[in-house]
Every structure is written in C-alpha cells, then in structure tokens.
Amino acid sequence: MRRTRELFALLTLVALVVAACGDRTPGLDADTLARAGNFSLGVQETAELVAPVAELPQDPAVIEALTDFWIDYSLLALAVNHEGALEAIDLSALTRQHLNQDKVLQLRDMVIDVDTTISDEELAEIYETDRPGERIRARHILFLFPDDADEAAMDSVRALAEDVRSRAAAGEDFASLAEQYSEDQGSAARGGDLNFFQRGTMVPPFEEAAFALDPGEVSPVVESQFGLHVIRLEEREFPPLEEVGPQLRREIQTERTARAESLFVAEMEEPAQITIADGAKSRVREMAESTTLDLSEREKDRALVTFEGGSYPAREFRWFLLNQPTQIRQQIASATDEQLDGMLRELARGELLVHEAESRGITVPDEEVRELEEEIRGQYREMAGLLGLDDITPEEGETLEQAVERAIADLMPRLVRGEQDVYPLGNLALPLRDHYGVQISMDNMDATAQRVASLRGEDPDAVPDLEDLDDLDLDDVVPTDPPSDPN
C-alpha cells in the first residue's frame, strides 16, 4: 500500500510537468477522456482502473496524470514497435538546443580572436597580486546596538568599542577581552576565534578590514550590519604557486575569453535593436503559471522579442519553460517587469548569436545531427524496455495497434496498483504527441473522478484527504528521471 500512496504523490507532481504536451481542449464527447493517435481512453474504463485502489483519491489531478501516462506509453509503444516509426518522428525540438550551442561555439572560434597565452612571469605576478586561495584566521569582538537605541545609547556602545580596541592594540590579551566583552555567543567562548576563512565568506566591511591586517595587528572599530567589530589577525596562509598555478591559468584564460565574448555580443546587440514585444511579459507570466502551456499554432509563432533580422518566438519560450523545474517556473510567474525584461533580453541574445552564426554559414555536420537523433531514439527504446513495451508482437488476427492496446491494458493496472515502476517521459513525450496528435478533455477529468467515487459508493463531492503525502520520499521507490536527453 505504501507504493500506491507514493505513486499518487508522484502522479500529482507529474501532472504539473507531463501535462505540458498536447491539445487539452474540451472537443471530445462525454464518454471520452483522451485520444492519442488512433487510441481512445474512456471515462468509464479509467474510473474502473482507479476505483479498486482505495488509496488513490477521487482527485482529478490523479486522473489527469494517469491519462498522461496512458497517452505517452501508448504512443511510445507504437513508435518503438512500428518499423520505421521512430525515424519518421521530428526530433528537432529535442536536438535544437544542442545544435544551437554547437553553432555558437563555432561562431566564437570564428570571430573571437583573443590571446590567452599567459607566461610564467605573468602568472607569478598575478599570483602575488591576487593571492588565490588565500585564507586568514582572525579573532573579533562584537558589540551590538540595543534594540530601538537612541543616539546617546549608540554613542555609548561606540565609546566602549573604542576603549576595548585601544586596550587590545596596547597589547592586552585579545582572547580575554573577547570572552569578557564580545556579544557573539558563538565565538566569545573561544576568545573570539573565527578559525580560517577565505574571501567571500564574511560581510564586506568586516572582510575588507580583516584581510588588510598583518598578523598580530588590531583593526580600527569596524561597523557592519551586525554591529561594531574589533578584529585581530592571527594567521595568514595561501597555497604555493605550484599548487594553484594550473587552475589560476585556466581561470584567467576563461575570464579573458568571456570578456572578449561579452564585447562581441555588445557590439552585435546594439545594431540589432532588441525590442520586447507589447504584452510579452504578461504572456510570459501566463505561460509560466499554466500547467498545460497550450499554444495555438498562431500563438507559437508570435514574437516575444524582435531584433534585426529575426525574433524569439513564443514556441522557443515554451520549450525553455518545459526544460525548467517547477520552482523556476514559479519564480518566472512572480517576477517583476524588470526581471522579465532582463530574462527575455538574455534569451534573445542567445537567439541572436544563433542567427548570426547561421548568417555566416555556420552549420552542424549532418553526421553529428544523425548521431544525436539516434541517441534520442535509443532513449525511446530504453524507456520502452524499462516498461516492458519494447517487444510487442500482434497475435493472430491482431493489428499492431490492437496489440499495443492489449499491452497498455495490462500495464496500466499494474502501474496503479504500484506493481510497476513509473517512468515519466518528460521532454521525450512532446515529439510523440506532436507526431501522432493528442486530444484531452479537461472537463471529463472531473466527471471521471466523480465516477470513481460512485463506483466506490462514496460522496462524489468529497475533498480528497492528502495528509501525510508531503513527506514521502519517492526516490527510494520509483525512478522519476528518464534517460538523459540533449536538453
């Protein structure tokens, strides 16, 4: 029973992602939940599938996720077992990002001429200046301002800090002063010892003062958001050049290349006149908020951003969203106009680079494209194998589609009962759905959930009890990640 409850927790998560593919319109009759190619899923058969499993609630989200699995597994089984079907499916949506990255890398090699040669003398000079890997051990005494302190009270704290600082600078034992005066409970008992830390660890005012000291030196009183500090540097250490030199050289080379790339993009961007389309930010939020991300063909081609000679259409942003975890999509949905403006411009810059590469005749060799597509087809076959759908043989008098229906009819009950591990197809589902065509009736999701309740003799209007599902650990039960894809 635990596996069934964990299956439901997975289904409610998968419904947020897998539902992104397909035409979820109400254009089906009242008895049909979905169509996938020539396959049809009925309301009654779905209700009869769920009703016997008491731990699966009468929740439309469960019905929706099961419908998505039925669609994807049916189409997967058909494509893998129908000779030549996988080769006929357009995989460009899956290969595009990888191929575009390849084109941009070729463009960089073509147009960016930057000398990344670094002599040993130059490397040693940079090492002496930047001190990579440097870390220090320091002690401090923290003085806090009282809550709602007036100017007189704050002046009193400052006077105390200056007095203690003078005593420390005069040679009084710093550890004893820290134990007596520091209000940093974590370090006071250790004589203010903060142990070793590197740059970027402490707040800027504290860090700047601490790294400026010589061992044994006491800082002036330093004010940060936490209060007033008196700092004493105990030790300073950094790894030798022989140890950090190779990594430092690579970092310098990477930085110089990135700087040259930024200059090239800036020079290219200015004449391109990147423009955010009217209403684009609102549309972006709507797409990020939606669990279905449905777009008509006209909407897919609508430009969110335009630039000289090209655009960034909604279909590209749809794919961008499908590659993001739910948390990122939620952040996009709640982002400010300024944040969305920056994001869209960054996405458009990427599209602009691809456009520039193609305008210079940069292409990806056909052999590389074929290899990538074959890798994706291998992922389809691997997924079908995991589900036991890779070797479906029609019985006498059966068509392949009838054999697939029989295999899926055997698979789905085992999945619902928790006897079959669940493998969401993720982005691999979209090319299948686009190729065969999918229709889903969202109106019939509620009707199916009510039918489940009726079959169980329950109140069809009851709210599902989802308690105790939040803490389930799905990783130990079902592998939720399909084989890696190019995206």
Which tens digit of pLDDT belongs to each residue from 407-447? 999 999 999 988 988 898 888 888 999 899 888 888 899 99
The pLDDT of residue 292: 52
Q: What's the whole-model pTM score?
A: 0.58
Name the one residue in this structure whose structure tokens are 């309301």: 43
Question: Among 7-16, 123-132, 216-225, where is mean pLDDT lowest?
Answer: 7-16
Buried b (16+ CB within 10 A) or exposed e, 354-379: bbbbeeeebebeeeebeebbebbbeb
The pLDDT of residue 13: 41
Cα 154 to Cα 152: distance, rounded to the nearest angstrom: 5
Name the one residue in this structure whose structure tokens are 């290899």: 371
232 phi, psi to nearest 5 deg = -125, 125
Rg of the chain over CA atoms, in angstroms?
31
- Secondary structure, 3-state, the chain: CHHHHHHHHHHHHHHHHHHHCCECCCCCCCCEEEEECCEEEEHHHHHHHHCCCCCCCCCHHHHHHHHHHHHHHHHHHHHHHCCCHHHHCCCHHHHHHHHHHHHHHHHHHHHCCCCCCCCHHHHHHHHHHHCCCCEEEEEEEEECCCCCCCHHHHHHHHHHHHHHHHHHHCCCCHHHHHHHHCCCHHHHCCCCEEEEEECCCCCHHHHHHHHCCCCCCECCCEEECCEEEEEEEEEEECCCHHHHHHHHHHHHHHHHHHHHHHHHHHHHHHHHCCEECCCHHHHHHHHHHCCCCCCCHHHHCCEEEEECCEEEEHHHHHHHHHCCCHHHHHHHHCCCHHHHHHHHHHHHHHHHHHHHHHHCCCCCCHHHHHHHHHHHHHHHHHHHHHHCCCCCCCCCCCCHHHHHHHHHHHHHHHHHCCCCCCCCCHHHHHHHHHHHCEEECCHHHHHHHHHHHHHHCCCCCCCCCCCCCCCCCHHHCCCCCCCCCCC
pLDDT tens-digit map of 74-98: 999 999 999 999 999 999 878 887 8
The pLDDT of residue 295: 67
pLDDT tens-digit map of 297-349: 788 889 999 988 888 898 888 878 876 766 788 889 999 999 999 999 988 88
Cα 320 to Cα 300: distance, rounded to the nearest angstrom: 13
Q: Are strands 303-307 and 310-313 parallel, antiparallel or unpaired?
A: antiparallel
Please say if the pLDDT value at position 269 is more than 60: yes
**What domains can you pick out in the chain, each with its CATH number?**
2-93+370-476 (no CATH), 134-237 (3.10.50.40)
Name the one residue in this structure whose structure tokens are 């022989």: 242
Provide the β-strand partners of residue 438. Answer: 36
The pLDDT of residue 461: 63
Nearest to 143 by CA among 161, 156, 162: 161
Grade residue 27 by pLDDT with cuts at 50, 70 and 90.
low
Please say if the pLDDT value at position 403 is more than 90: yes
Please say if the pLDDT value at position 486 is more than 80: no
The pLDDT of residue 309: 82
The pLDDT of residue 101: 85
Please say if the pLDDT value at position 293 is more than 60: no
The pLDDT of residue 43: 94
* Other beta carbons within 10 Å of 279: 11
Q: How many CA atoms lie within 13 A of 317 on its CB side?
A: 31
Please say if the pLDDT value at position 8 is more than 60: no
Grade residue 140 by pLDDT with cuts at 50, 70 and 90.
very high
Q: Would you give the distance in Å from CA 139 to the centre of its chain?
A: 40
Contact between 56 and 3 under an 8 Å Cβ cutoff? The reply is no
Residue type, 212: A
Percent of the chain with pLDDT over 70: 87
Grade residue 479 by pLDDT with cuts at 50, 70 and 90.
very low
Higher pLDDT, 436 or 475: 436
Q: Give the CA angle between residues 172, 175, 178 to the nearest 5°.
A: 100
The pLDDT of residue 210: 95
Buried b (16+ CB within 10 A) or exposed e, 297-307: eeeeebbbbbb
Cα 310 to Cα 274: distance, rounded to the nearest angstrom: 10
Phi-psi region of 82 (alpha: psi -120 to 50; beta: other; left: phi over 0): beta
Cα torsion 45, 46, 52, 58 to 10°: value is: -140
Grade residue 294 by pLDDT with cuts at 50, 70 and 90.
low
The pLDDT of residue 238: 87
Mean pLDDT of all residues belonging to the chain: 84
When pLDDT is averaged across residues 227-244 and rounded to a whole number, the result is 92
Grade residue 16 by pLDDT with cuts at 50, 70 and 90.
very low
The pLDDT of residue 26: 46
Per the structure block, which two tokens stand in for 220? 């002036």
Distances (CA, A) of 141 to 162, 221, 230: 11, 10, 5
Angle between helices 43-50 and 400-416 (to 10 degrees): 40
Per the structure block, which two tokens stand in for 213? 């000291």
pLDDT tens-digit map of 148-159: 888 999 999 999
Cα 405 to Cα 45: distance, rounded to the nearest angstrom: 13
* Other beta carbons within 10 Å of 158: 15
Biggest distance spanned by C-alpha atoms of the chain: 100
